[in-house]
Amino acid sequence: MEKAKLSSALFAGTHFDRKRFSGVFARFRQGPSGPDVASANPSSAPSPEKKRKRKSKAKAKKNKKRRAEDADSASDAVEGFSVFKGLAAKKDEEDSEKKVETGKSEDSEVVRRRKEVEREIERAAILRKRFDIHISGQNVPAPLENFEELVSRYGCDSYLVGNLSKLGFQEPTPIQRQAIPILLSGRECFACAPTGSGKTLAFLFPILMKIKPGSKEGVKAVILCPTRELAAQTTRECKKLAKGRKFYIKLMTKDLSKSGNFKDMHCDILVSTPLRLDHAVQKRDLDLSRVEYLVLDESDKLFELGFVEVIDSVVKVCSNPSIIRSLFSATLPDSIEALARTIMHDAVRVIVGRKNSASSLIKQKLIFAGTEKGKLLALRQSFAESLNPPVLIFVQSKERAKELYKELAFDDIRADVIHADLDEEQRQDAVDNLRAGKTWVLIATEVIARGMDFKGVNCVINYDFPESASAYIHRIGRSGRAGRSGEAITFFTEEDKPFLRNIANVLISSGCEVPSWIKTLPKLKRKKHRVNRDPISTLPDED
Ligand SMILES: Nc1ncnc2c1ncn2[C@@H]1O[C@H](COP(=O)(O)OP(=O)(O)OP(=O)(O)O)[C@@H](O)[C@H]1O
């Protein structure tokens, strides 16, 4: 019941409905002799027929009033365009003029402005439809048509737009088109868009546009990421984008968190994992009371058990009443959204494509390998047939990552491994080596499943079946990024069959082929799938 209420509220105002507002547009065209001024006949007693007509007139009037109110809020939906500013004031003016000038036709300037509003609303709706952008929330600013609009509409410094073109970004991606105007107009935002679709820029750009560089008043923006690797990557991206201005952009390293002198440190933008940030706040008196932007990247992961209390405490210490919070992820389960909503204020929800779905650029395949040994054989066979590096292989634990690494070390393949037992430097080296092409195959646990942007990963292999549909979406999303195509192969054994249907649904919704027997498997209520697997080894079993 509560959920139904919540979801209906979330979807309110998703589409601009011309049919629904048609009465209002008609009103703008009508002269004062329209239905509003139609009079009743006071001399005659009401007949049942008249009563019915009067009742329906009253109802029509009521509906009209409601539509007029809706139309006003729809006009507001394009705020940010100067032409719409002061529209409410204009309407008041109009109303009083009407009283004086009853019988005269509506002022042509007002009609022109109304038509302009109508056109802008339509333009926004067309853009959203074209880029598969779905919104919910009141007064949502129109999406960007191009990056130049950041200058013409929002007064962005040309250096920042110049940096975009230096980075080779010519057109905004759909999430950038909608999320940037939302954040720039001071609104909070939930954003859900496919992996590799440019969410990082969507939250970095408004921050760089809005905060003053080099201020000595303390941290102005905090970006939280679930892993150190992602935090390091986001810091790098932020520095690239800010080139030409003296922003202090800091990554919260282990040392900084444990022994940083935050009172004397200049920092405009701080990128951190939740635990490190919390440690710095609790133990090193890091003051976050002036933070203007708080971003929770991979937000559903951040809200997962274990992090939620830390997030709660970070949200509390970011106590600036005018703070703008935003949540970004490729997956946003309803339960997490409901939880996150409790910390947000009047947030706009933006979904690009279908919520919780894989990037359409990835060709996905399921392969039955029978047993654990079967998986190793299938992997070797696949590499023997074609190895198109860089390749990422995901396994379910660090122990299994080490085991598979040992196995592949016997083969003539340049492989490396990354997992939580390695220190920070080793983990970063593994990532850098894959980026530089020194490594062809990187065996990984979930540590790099989210957010990591390795350009041109050609293939992701789920050696171990992922534990949930969202884990699957993020893992395979390491390929097929920034408009490039990719491939994802997922091995499954007998033990994985009960969970197959959940993953198969992701393939089906992206238009990939799935054997028909899998479609008939029952849906599993259980969300997580964790299997005790035999060790990865080609040695014969001891017994
Ligand atoms: N407007 C753009 N035009 C071209 N490339 C872009 C644009 N914006 C971002 N990119 C590039 O797209 C790639 C993916 O971007 P990003 O890492 O932000 O994706 P993401 O949506 O955050 O993915 P994930 O969900 O996996 O974290 C990056 O290499 C980035 O440089």
216-245 tens-digit pLDDT: 889 999 999 999 999 999 999 999 999 999
Residue to mutate (ligand 1; options 200, 225, 237; most atoms within 8 A of CB): 200
Does residue 501 surpass a pLDDT of 70?
yes
Q: How many whole angstroms from 197 Cα to the centroid of ligand 1? A: 5
- Identify the CA nearest to 499 among candidates 366, 345, 332: 366
Residue 140 counted as domain residue: yes
Mean pLDDT of the chain: 82
Tens of pLDDT, residue by residue over 150-196, are 999 999 999 999 999 999 999 999 999 999 999 999 999 999 999 99
Q: Is 200 in the pocket of ligand 1 (CB under 6 A)?
A: yes
Q: Is 435 in the pocket of ligand 1 (CB under 6 A)?
A: no
Residues 372 and 320 in one domain: no
Residues 384 and 312 in one domain: no
Residues 228 and 307 in one domain: yes
Residues 346 and 393 in one domain: no
- Percent of the chain residues topping a pLDDT of 90: 59
Q: How many whole angstroms from 8 Cα to the centroid of ligand 1? A: 31
Specify the residue with its C-alpha closest to ligand 1, atom 1: 172
pLDDT of residue 507: 95
Does residue 90 surpass a pLDDT of 60?
no
Q: Please provide the size of the chain in residues.
A: 543
Residue 112 counted as domain residue: no
Residue 79 counted as domain residue: no
Q: How many whole angstroms from 374 Cα to the centroid of ligand 1? A: 36
Q: Is 481 in the pocket of ligand 1 (CB under 6 A)?
A: yes
Residues with Cβ within 8 Å of 336's Cβ and at least 6 positions away in sequence, in order, are 299, 300, 303, 304
Q: Is 199 in the pocket of ligand 1 (CB under 6 A)?
A: yes
Atom of ligand 1 nearest to the CA of 171: 1
Residues 169 and 269 in one domain: yes
The Cα 416–Cα 390 span in angstroms is: 11
Residues 367 and 346 in one domain: no
Residues 371 and 344 in one domain: no
Q: Is 389 in the pocket of ligand 1 (CB under 6 A)?
A: no
Residue 52 counted as domain residue: no
Q: Is 274 in the pocket of ligand 1 (CB under 6 A)?
A: no
Higher pLDDT, 193 or 11: 193
Q: Is 454 in the pocket of ligand 1 (CB under 6 A)?
A: no
Q: What is the mean pLDDT of residues 491-515?
A: 91
Higher pLDDT, 128 or 510: 128
Residues 231 and 297 in one domain: yes
Are 323 and 299 in contact by the 8 Å Cβ rule? The answer is: no
pLDDT of residue 456: 86
Residue to mutate (ligand 1; options 167, 178, 180, 201; most atoms within 8 A of CB): 201
Q: Is 197 in the pocket of ligand 1 (CB under 6 A)?
A: yes
Q: Which of 73-82, 384-393, 510-519 shows the lowest mean pLDDT across its residues?
A: 73-82
Are 309 and 238 in contact by the 8 Å Cβ rule? The answer is: no
Q: How many whole angstroms from 34 Cα to the centroid of ligand 1? A: 53
Atom of ligand 1 nearest to the CA of 170: 3
Atom of ligand 1 nearest to the CA of 173: 1
DSSP at 167: T
pLDDT of residue 308: 87
- pTM, to two decimals: 0.79
Q: Which of 19-33, 108-122, 359-373, 400-414 shows the lowest mean pLDDT across its residues?
A: 19-33
Provide the edge-to-edge strand list for the sheet that holds 133-136.
133-136, 348-352, 189-192, 324-329, 293-297, 221-224, 269-272, 249-251
Q: Is 533 in the pocket of ligand 1 (CB under 6 A)?
A: no
Residue 100 counted as domain residue: no
pLDDT of residue 324: 97
Q: Is 227 in the pocket of ligand 1 (CB under 6 A)?
A: no
pLDDT of residue 53: 54
Q: What is the mean pLDDT of residues 200-213?
A: 97
Residues with Cβ within 8 Å of 274's Cβ and at least 6 positions away in sequence, in order, are 224, 226, 302, 307, 310, 311, 314
Confidence of residue 215 (pLDDT cuts 50, 70, 90): confident
Tens of pLDDT, residue by residue over 339-360, are 888 889 999 999 999 988 999 8
Residues 324 and 439 in one domain: no
Task: Locate 40 and state its tokens.
Answer: 């009743």
Q: How many whole angstroms from 401 Cα to the centroid of ligand 1? A: 27
Amino acid (one-letter) located at 433: N
Does residue 432 surpass a pLDDT of 70?
yes
Burial class (CB in 10 A: 0-12, 13-18, 19+), 107: middle
Residue 342 counted as domain residue: yes
The Cα 393–Cα 381 span in angstroms is: 15
Residue to mutate (ligand 1; options 207, 241, 453; most atoms within 8 A of CB): 453
Sign of the torsion formed by the C-alpha atoms of 357, 363, 367 and 373: negative
Q: What radius of gyration, in Å, describes the C-alpha atoms of the chain?
A: 28
Burial 287-299 (b: 16+ CB within 10 A, else e): ebeebbbbbbbbb
pLDDT of residue 472: 96
Residue 459 counted as domain residue: yes
Residues 471 and 414 in one domain: yes
CATH number at residue 399: 3.40.50.300
Q: What is the mean pLDDT of residues 284-311?
A: 92
Residue 448 counted as domain residue: yes
Specify the residue with its C-alpha closest to ligand 1, atom 15: 198
Q: Which of 39-43, 155-159, 447-451 shows the lowest mean pLDDT across its residues?
A: 39-43
Tens of pLDDT, residue by residue over 92-130, are 555 555 555 555 566 788 999 899 889 999 999 999 999
Are 157 and 107 in contact by the 8 Å Cβ rule? The answer is: no
Quick check: ipTM above 0.85?
A: yes
Q: Which domain holds residue 450?
A: 362-520
The Cα angle at residue 245 between residues 244 and 248, in degrees rounded to 5? 130
Q: Is 490 in the pocket of ligand 1 (CB under 6 A)?
A: no
Q: How many whole angstroms from 311 Cα to the centroid of ligand 1? A: 25
Q: Which of 12-26, 47-61, 89-103, 181-195 shows the lowest mean pLDDT across its residues?
A: 12-26
pLDDT of residue 331: 94
Specify the residue with its C-alpha closest to ligand 1, atom 3: 169
Q: Is 195 in the pocket of ligand 1 (CB under 6 A)?
A: yes
The number of folded domains in the chain is 2
Q: Is 482 in the pocket of ligand 1 (CB under 6 A)?
A: yes
Does residue 42 surpass a pLDDT of 50?
no
Q: How many whole angstroms from 529 Cα to the centroid of ligand 1? A: 29
Final residue of a domain: which of 298, 319, 352?
Answer: 352
Residues 144 and 240 in one domain: yes
Secondary structure element (H or E) that encloses residue 417, with its range: strand 415-418
Q: How many whole angstroms from 194 Cα to the centroid of ligand 1? A: 10
Q: Is 331 in the pocket of ligand 1 (CB under 6 A)?
A: no
Atom of ligand 1 nearest to the CA of 233: 17
Q: Is 201 in the pocket of ligand 1 (CB under 6 A)?
A: yes
Secondary structure element (H or E) that encloses residue 476, with its range: helix 469-476
Q: Is 445 in the pocket of ligand 1 (CB under 6 A)?
A: no
Residue to mutate (ligand 1; options 131, 169, 475, 484; most atoms within 8 A of CB): 169
Residues 169 and 203 in one domain: yes
